[in-house]
Amino acid sequence: MKPNHRRCVSCRKVGPKEAFWRLVRLYPSHQVQLDRGMGRSVYLCPEAECLKVAQKKNRLGRSLKASVSNEIYQTLWQRLATSSPASQYQPNGQEIPNPNRVNSQPPI
Ligand SMILES: [Zn+2]
């Protein structure tokens, strides 16, 4: 694995760490939080499928050896909802904005 590359706990995909969400088990409190902090970290693709698997199988909690609160999952689901689900991650890690998503129709 290249330096600065990380692996998703759900699908095992490897990519630059900026492409993933980071969860950190803080030292020494063992509290789990997002994005920043010192301690043991796990990475997850910002994708519904990976989040779903991580939540269902407790991949994050098991990797961190700490309990991941519902709030964390809720925050991540919210991030997914507010980001553009149609955008694609390219191999170089850049996101392609998709303006059509903004005016997407509600499901019928
Ligand atoms: Zn993944």
Q: How far is the CA of 6 from the centre of ligand 1 (A)?
A: 11
Q: How far is the CA of 45 from the centre of ligand 1 (A)?
A: 4
Question: Model confidence at 16, in pLDDT bands (50, 70, 90)?
Answer: very high
Sign of CA dihedral 86, 34, 53, 107: negative
Q: Collect residues with CB below 5 Å from ion ligand 1.
A: 8, 10-11, 13, 45, 50
How far lies 16's CA from each of 1, 46, 71, 103, 105, in Å? 10, 13, 26, 31, 33
C-alpha gyration radius of the chain: 15
Q: How far is the CA of 13 from the centre of ligand 1 (A)?
A: 6
| pLDDT > 60? residue 77 | yes
pLDDT tens digits for range 39-57 = 999 999 999 999 999 999 9
Residue 18 Cα to chain centre, angstroms: 10
Q: How far is the CA of 80 from the centre of ligand 1 (A)?
A: 13
